[in-house]
Chain A
Amino acid sequence: MAALMVFVIACGGGDNTGKSNTGNPPASSGGSASGTASPSKEPEQVTLKFMNWGSVEAATKPGYEAMVAAFEKKYPHIKIENVGVPFNQMLDQILVQHSAGSSPDVMILHGTWTSAMNAAGALQPLDELIPADVQSDFYPNLIGNLKYDDELVGLPWTPAPSTLYYNKELLKQAGITELPTSFKEVREMAKQIAALGKTDTGNTIYGFGLSSQRLFNSGFYFIPYIWEQGGDLTNEAGEVTLDTPEVVKAFEATKQLFTDKVTPVGADIKELRNLFAQGQLGFYVDIDAYGILLDLSPKKTAFANDFGMMRLPDDNAFYLEYVLGMSSQTKHQEEAALFLEFMSGAEAMTAYNNNGGNRTPARESSAAIDYYQKPENAHMQFYIEAIQNARPLPVRNPGFVKAMEEVAEAIQRVGINNEEPAKVVKELQAKVNAIYTQ
């Protein structure tokens, strides 16, 4: 820890913080905004450092390498230095490198990190770097959420809608013939499913899967249940609005799931996926997990016949996107803009998905590629439609990630420690308010 802090201070740039100013005007390196070099001038050889976690994960590494190769083929004068960092370390690494003045040129961020990165001045505004026709090609609800102070700070990439997955077999066994139209119905059906007891192999059957480990994603998966009751994390002015009867109701309903033993205790989203793939879970909420579930299931592709997907009741679905960002410290803004534009476009999505990517597009033009039209990828059409109707998570405050950890802890207090929801919610309001106003 001490050595990391020394690195932050000692490797600073011109000023004593090592941070550079934001909002630098686009550098002019010749050529149009689309990057085509003027006929009389050979484009300068440039290397862009691209930081991401996909390159170190076995499932996504081939896709990332294919996208980079396709880009380098299209723009031979731009080399990509592909730097893979494990997901858990990604944000720390970027913030520390930014503080030290050695940020990567381009990066992929988790959607929940954008506000913190923007507050740190780490992201270059893209309004004048990305052509207007490209910007308008993105789904409006996605790109709108990446504007801070009217400046576009990133491009949405591979968004995923929160989706309600259900096990058809367990519903049938429990005598459920119609799909739920509200979360209240989901909870009632979940009780019926949990009453089935055990599978043929003696494993416990759960009716509903709620992520309740002390992780920030447990917090944001809980947001739809707050929306269900008519509450929200913040109001339009950004003030924390957790201490409300609606949020208390959300936690009371959650507590009941634990009391009735309808949900596994202390499971994270990966364990829930595993339980669902093993046929032990009736309902659960996840993002685009179709391919993951087939991989996890002992039945493999045959498992696709055993489960279904539906939009969250009352349109309370959120979307979660990755974000393509450009560092405010990059010296190659035009080249970096070309890369960001390429990564979200049809060519990159084709390369990515044909190499195991299996992710949804953020642009309308990318949605038209052959991959999404294939019958075996019909689930992608579901996701594409669901994204366009999903709400953004309330990620605007830089303290969002820490706030979600507090929400996860509140779930544990109510569900595992059996505390009173009203008291927990009151304390949660105070904690999140302190985080949001620091």
Chain B
Amino acid sequence: MKTNSLASRGGWMKKRHIDRFFLTACLIPAIILITIVVLIPVLQAVQISLMDYKFISKQAPAWNNFGNYKTLFRSGDFTVYLKNTSIYIFFAVSISFGLALFLSLLLNSKIKGRNVMRGMIFMSWTIPSVVNALLWTWLFQPQYGVLNYIFNTFGWLANENQTWVQHPQLAMVTIIIAAVWAQTPYMMVMLLAGLQSVSSELVEAAKIDGAGRFNILRYVQIPSIRPVIDTAVLISVMTNSQMYTVIYNMTQGGPMNKTTTFSIAAYQEAFTGYNLGLGAATGVVWLIIIGLIVFLYKTYSERKISGYL
């Protein structure tokens, strides 16, 4: 027996090592790729952010004693970028989530033509960002745009050539609309997949107990798909924090910096101001902020999920 026990333990240990080796071997390519494509560029960007590095200077880049960070924080632009980025992310993510949840609930129910509707709703996600930006720029065009034409037909506009994309108060709204239109389908698909995995027995049990649709949604479905919601929201936050194409092609960060987010500011400092160091510093600061947000969100949501379990 002892001999058999020793042999079985030895066999189990060998198998464990093999499994561990196999897992490591599977992970190594991904780790190498992430190191080359993500980690090294980020470290290089941090290095550049600490240097006086300008395209239009013949001087070699040199350490500038955090000069780029001092410039960023002292100029007052940092608070503008933070405010614009926060507003954009908050509304783009929350509106996308609300719409996506509504659509996913709708498509999860037994309605006619839901497969066709799924396909049609998902089409906007397949359109390239640049095309999306140009499309919405033309829809919002003051003289020829379809939206002004429709609004004028109903007599809703005091100024029939209402500006949208170039209006200081409305420019951010137009960008959020363009972003929500493009991103909602992806979030919808994730939430729909989650809803479809909710046990029908739970829903039936809730119905038997007299729960209405809203209570079933609130106390059964949403808690069941909480991990999916967290992932979808996190992806949306990270996607929108990097948003450059839509904003640059619609407003170029204007008018009057009303839509200049960190990503736009970083590009402008580097390639319009030719100051690669300051552009990198802007990007690094934003990286730290978004990293903190993601960390805090994950910590909070993991505690919440473990509270459900």
Contact A6 B40 (CB under 8 A): yes
Measured between alpha carbons, how far is A257 from B44 in the docked complex, in Å?
A: 49
Chain A positions 207 through 241: 1 when the CB is less than 8 Å from some CB of chain B, otherwise 0: 00000111110000000000000000000000000
- On whether A214 and B255 interact (CB within 8 A), knowing A2-B45, A5-B280, A8-B276, the answer reads yes
Contact A1 B275 (CB under 8 A): no
Contact B274 A1 (CB under 8 A): no
Contact B165 A266 (CB under 8 A): yes
A84-107 contacts to B, CB under 8 A, are 91-92, 95, 99
Contact B41 A5 (CB under 8 A): yes
- On whether A416 and B274 interact (CB within 8 A), knowing A2-B44, A5-B45, A409-B254, the answer reads no
Contact B41 A417 (CB under 8 A): no
Measured between alpha carbons, how far is A48 from B309 in the docked complex, in Å?
A: 67
Is B143 an interface position by the 8 A CB rule? Answer: yes
Contact A204 B274 (CB under 8 A): no
Contact of A5 among B48, B143, B161, B273 (CB under 8 A): B48
Is B271 an interface position by the 8 A CB rule? Answer: yes
Q: How large is the interface on B (under 10, 10 to 19, 20 to 34, 35 or more residues)?
A: 35 or more
Contact of B57 among A120, A204, A412 (CB under 8 A): A120
Choose among B60, B61, B254, B267 the residue with the greatest number of A CB atoms under 10 Å from its CB. Answer: B254
Contact A266 B55 (CB under 8 A): no
Contact A213 B166 (CB under 8 A): yes
Kindly list chain A residues whose C-beta atoms are within 8 Å of the C-beta of B160. 204
Kindly list chain B residues whose C-beta atoms are within 8 Å of the C-beta of A413. 256
Chain B positions 116 through 141: 1 when the CB is less than 8 Å from some CB of chain A, otherwise 0: 00000000000000000000000001
- On whether A212 and B44 interact (CB within 8 A), knowing A116-B55, A266-B142, the answer reads no
Which B residue sits closest to A7, measured CB to CB?
Answer: B41
Contact B168 A416 (CB under 8 A): yes
Contact A416 B41 (CB under 8 A): no
Which of A14-22, A55-63, A297-305, A376-384 makes up part of the contact surface?
Answer: A14-22
Contact A416 B255 (CB under 8 A): yes
Kindly list chain B residues whose C-beta atoms are within 8 Å of the C-beta of A386. none
Is A3 an interface position by the 8 A CB rule? Answer: yes
Kindly list chain A residues whose C-beta atoms are within 8 Å of the C-beta of B273. 399, 402, 435, 438
Measured between alpha carbons, how far is A264 from B161 in the docked complex, in Å?
A: 8
Is A179 an interface position by the 8 A CB rule? Answer: no
Which A residue sits closest to B152, measured CB to CB?
Answer: A202
Is B216 an interface position by the 8 A CB rule? Answer: no
Contact of A119 among B48, B57, B266 (CB under 8 A): B57
Chain A positions 256 through 291: 1 when the CB is less than 8 Å from some CB of chain B, otherwise 0: 000000001111000100110000100000000000
Kindly list chain A residues whose C-beta atoms are within 8 Å of the C-beta of B44. 2, 5-6, 9-10
How far is the CB of A339 from the nearest CB of chain B, in Å? Answer: 25
Chain B interface residues (CB < 8 Å from chain A): 37, 40-42, 44-45, 47-48, 54-58, 60-61, 141-144, 160-161, 163, 165-168, 251-257, 263, 266-267, 270-276, 279-280, 283
Closest 4 CB pairs of A and B: A266-B166, A214-B254, A2-B41, A119-B56
Cross-chain pairs A/B with CB under 8 angstroms, 15 sampled: A2-B42, A5-B45, A5-B280, A92-B271, A116-B274, A119-B58, A120-B274, A212-B166, A214-B256, A271-B141, A402-B273, A409-B254, A416-B166, A416-B255, A438-B275
